[in-house]
Amino acid sequence: MADIHPMDDQTHYVKRVQLPSGKTIEVVYFRDAHLLPDTASSFGPALEPAQNLHVCPECSSKLVYPTSWDEAGPDAWQVQLRCPECEHLREGVFAQETVDEFDERLDMGTDALTADLRRLTRANMAAEVDLFVAALEADAILAEDF
């Protein structure tokens, strides 16, 4: 969660960021006054239109992931994206809302992968136990095996 507080002289603005630990920090951005527009809402570069960042514009894969992302203004992020299916790379500056939706998709994907990993780990362990039990029953395990 972040709050933006532009200053009256518009040479800088403060962004409050709440960390996962619950602590809040303030980040101060400075700009040259002669480069700034008349309104604080215009800080930062032009934004790409709202879109589903997890979808590849070339092959329509839904597996696109970020290779890097950096703040590009008070409500914008510069994001580099990669499609693992067609190797399409792209970069753009996206609104906070678009990046938040992408982040939620990434979290859902992480949750799905973690659930699959747990299921596979349990299945592999069950198979190992079955093999061990079969070896014990066949007297195929000797003291020299340990």
> Residue 22: what residue type?
G
pLDDT for the residue numbered 74: 82
∠ CA(10), CA(15), CA(19), 5° rounding?
170
**What is the tens place of the pLDDT at every residue in 53-83?**
999 999 999 999 999 999 888 889 999 999 9
Tokens 């982040």, residue?
A: 103
Sequence spans of domains, the chain: 1-33, 47-140
Q: Report the percent of the chain where pLDDT is more than 70.
A: 79
Average pLDDT over residues 33-38: 44
What is the Cβ-side half-sphere exposure of residue 137, based on CA atoms within 13 angstroms? 6
DSSP 61-82: -S--EEEEEEEEETTEEEEEEE
> Residue 116: what residue type?
D
Query: pTM of the entire structure?
Result: 0.60
